[in-house]
């Protein structure tokens, strides 16, 4: 990141870059390498547009209409209609930081060149993020098993100059006016682009990255609270000894116990239990088990971060343009890998509350 701007290239974004854009308001630009890969991917799509063989999302309809040939003069309308029909979310607005993360992550996939989207279409997303224009996305509507279709469709709709957005000041406005004021020309979708803009797991992934960051802070805080509780109840740190933790070698447990020992180091109360006069047998269950509970949550977060890391390195779309120039259908848009681990995190957070 340079000059408060995150450069989106052909490789994965880092959690720090996502946080900078989602929460820090950093601008976004595409790398030269990304533009090159997108041009190459688009060339493959265009070479298939007039092929007599059907190619899903390029010369055909979607879903049950995959076998229906779409005339060239109706393909732009098809892509536009796809976005409009899926922009059907309801309920409260999704948080601004989540929508910004979602848009950035979709842009990251577009930048790989695996979606066949034009560079100028991707540039609209980068320009919207830089201008602080955030599409209004509703909380309910994501299908999950087919990715974040509805949330992503609301973002694509705004890029088309339709729907509602919030500007940098948070004012609710029609997308057309906000784009015009920012000097951004709305995108006119062509073959494959509507499909590529809504076929991803970026909402789930954005929330996962933000949650992992926040939980790391929460877990450090939980250890501090536990240490204060031990002192307040005149407890001992004996149960946190490294050799006792090694008998059950979960890494998170060892880390939490080490943190508790460091926090309690030098405490007069801890020292008082090391004298021959101490008659204490053991502390309350809630104190002794702090490393086990906090550690299990730490291990859950570590697993979630590993899943997030793999997803950040992914190009999620259907169909995809392969590196050797094929266009292939696949099931990589399914949200199960992220949905499962998000539920796992929710369990860990709920049961780790003291």
- pLDDT for res 2: 61
Give the residue numbers marked as catalytic.
56
User: In b/e form, how buried is each residue of 310-348, taking b as 16+ CB within 10 angstroms?
Assistant: ebbebbbbbbbbeeeeebeeeebbbbebbbebbeebeeb
Q: Is the peptide bond before 249 cis (omega within 30 degrees of 0)?
A: no
Digit-by-digit pLDDT tens for the chain (354 residues) are 567 999 999 999 999 999 999 999 999 999 999 999 999 999 999 998 888 788 888 888 887 777 788 888 888 899 999 999 999 999 999 999 999 999 999 999 999 999 999 999 999 999 999 999 999 999 998 877 888 999 999 999 999 999 999 999 999 999 999 999 999 999 999 999 999 999 999 999 999 999 999 999 999 999 999 999 999 999 999 999 999 999 999 999 999 999 999 999 999 998 888 888 887 778 898 999 999 999 999 999 999 999 999 999 999 999 999 999 999 999 999 999 999 999 999 999 888 665
Q: Following DSSP, what letter does each residue of 281-311 receive, concatenated? A: ----HHHHTHHHHHHHHHHHHHHHHHHHHHH
Concatenated DSSP letters of 107-176: HHHHTTTSS---HHHHHHHHHHHHHT-EE--EEE---BBTBSHHHHHHHHHHHTT-SEEE-TT--EEEHH
Query: Would you state the pLDDT for residue 207?
Result: 97
Beta bridge partners of 28: 6
- Distance separating alpha carbons of residues 155 and 350, to the nearest angstrom: 32
Q: How many Å apart are CA 270 and CA 188, to the nearest integer?
A: 68
Closest CA relative to residue 175, chosen from 133, 131, 125? 133
Q: Which two tokens stand for residue 308?
A: 């997030």
Q: Which domains does the chain carry?
A: 5-200 (1.10.275.10), 203-354 (1.20.200.10)
Among residues 239, 184, 212, the alpha carbon closest in space to that of 346 is found at 212
Structural contact between residues 323 and 117, judged by C-beta atoms closer than 8 angstroms? no
Closest to 94 in 3D by CA, of 140, 50, 162: 140
Residue 316 CA to its chain's centroid (Å): 12
Give how far the C-alpha of residue 278 lies from the chain's centroid of Cα atoms, to the nearest Å.
Answer: 51
The whole-angstrom distance between residue 177's C-alpha and the CA centroid of its chain comes to 28
């Amino acid at each position: 990141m340079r000059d408060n701007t995150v450069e989106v290239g052909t490789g994965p974004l880092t959690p720090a870059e996502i946080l900078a854009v989602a929460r820090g308001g950093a601008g976004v630009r595409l790398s030269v390498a990304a533009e090159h890969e997108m041009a190459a991917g688009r060339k493959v799509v265009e070479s298939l547009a007039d092929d007599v063989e059907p190619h899903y999302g390029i010369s055909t309809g979607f879903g049950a209409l995959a076998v229906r040939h779409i005339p060239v003069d109706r393909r732009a309308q098809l892509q536009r209609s796809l976005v409009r029909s899926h922009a059907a979310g309801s309920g409260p607005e999704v948080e601004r930081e989540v929508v910004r993360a979602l848009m950035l992550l979709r842009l990251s996939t577009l930048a790989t060149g695996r979606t066949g989207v034009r560079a100028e279409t991707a540039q609209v997303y980068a320009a919207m993020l830089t201008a602080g224009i955030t599409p209004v996305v509703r909380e309910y509507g994501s299908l999950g098993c087919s990715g974040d279709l509805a949330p992503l469709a609301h973002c694509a709709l705004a890029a088309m100059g339709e729907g509602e957005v919030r500007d940098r000041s948070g004012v609710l406005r029609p997308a057309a006016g906000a784009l015009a004021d920012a000097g951004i020309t709305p995108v006119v979708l062509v073959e494959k682009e509507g499909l590529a803009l809504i076929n991803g797991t970026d909402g789930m992934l954005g929330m996962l990255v933000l949650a992992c960051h926040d939980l790391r802070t929460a877990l450090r805080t939980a250890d501090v609270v536990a240490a204060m509780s031990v002192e307040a109840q005149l407890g001992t740190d004996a149960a946190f000894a490294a050799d006792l933790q090694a008998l059950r070698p979960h890494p998170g447990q060892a880390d939490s116990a080490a943190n508790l020992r460091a926090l309690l180091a030098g405490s007069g109360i801890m020292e008082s239990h090391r004298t021959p006069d101490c008659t204490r047998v053991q502390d309350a269950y809630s104190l002794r088990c702090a490393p086990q509970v906090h550690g299990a949550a730490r291990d859950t977060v570590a697993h979630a971060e590993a899943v997030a890391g793999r997803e950040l390195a992914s190009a999620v779309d259907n169909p995809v343009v392969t590196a050797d120039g094929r266009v292939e259908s696949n099931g990589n848009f399914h949200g199960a890998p992220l949905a499962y681990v998000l539920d796992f995190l929710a369990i860990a957070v709920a049961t780790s509350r003291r």
